[in-house]
């Protein structure tokens, strides 16, 4: 819970967003090396398969998800602005949230702007 609390405070988020922060914290902990299994990731110690850490992102950074041709017109934007909140449990994809329309999506086709925050204001999921 300390990691979750720090994530919420660092991004100026309300406590209402705790569930998304906890989900992200659990993912990070499960994908981090631990002394109890000789500095291996828990998943690697269990399965013997090395873990890919290239997917890791920082909680609540701005992300742009690609909008497929079928869902946009000729002059519409090719991407939509979201906030990264967590990782998909089913695939190597990201969970993204749009606080404007309160829409959550799961997408692999994402570009991150890790130095940009969501308008610098308190975000309520």
* DSSP letter (8 states) at residue 123: B
Cβ–Cβ contacts within 10 Å for residue 106, how many?
16
Residues 6+ apart with CB under 8 A from 93: 87, 106, 107, 108
User: Could you tell me if residue 123 is inside a domain?
Assistant: no
**pLDDT tens for each residue of the chain, 125 residues long:** 888 887 777 767 777 777 877 887 777 777 777 777 777 777 777 777 766 655 555 566 788 999 999 999 999 999 999 988 888 888 889 989 887 788 889 999 999 887 776 654 444 44
Q: Would you say residue 124 lies in a domain?
A: no
Asked whether residue 122 is domain-assigned, the answer is no
Q: Is residue 42 assigned to a domain?
A: yes
**Please, what sign has the CA dihedral across residues 104, 108, 109, 115?**
positive
Domain that holds residue 32: 2-113
Q: CA-to-CA distance for 21 and 19, rounded, in angstroms?
A: 5
pTM for the predicted model, two decimal places: 0.59
Domains contained in the chain, number:
1
């Amino acid at each position: 819970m300390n990691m979750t609390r720090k994530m919420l405070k660092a991004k100026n988020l309300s406590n209402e967003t705790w569930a998304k922060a906890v989900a992200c914290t659990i993912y990070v902990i499960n994908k981090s090396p631990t002394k109890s299994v000789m500095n291996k990731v828990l998943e690697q110690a269990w399965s013997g398969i090395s873990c890919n850490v290239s997917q890791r992102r920082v909680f609540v950074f701005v992300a742009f998800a690609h909008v497929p041709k079928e869902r946009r017109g000729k002059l519409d934007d090719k991407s939509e602005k979201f906030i990264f909140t967590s990782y998909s449990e089913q695939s190597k994809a990201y969970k993204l949230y749009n606080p404007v329309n309160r829409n959550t999506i799961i997408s692999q086709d994402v570009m991150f702007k890790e130095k940009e925050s969501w308008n610098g204001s308190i975000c309520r999921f």
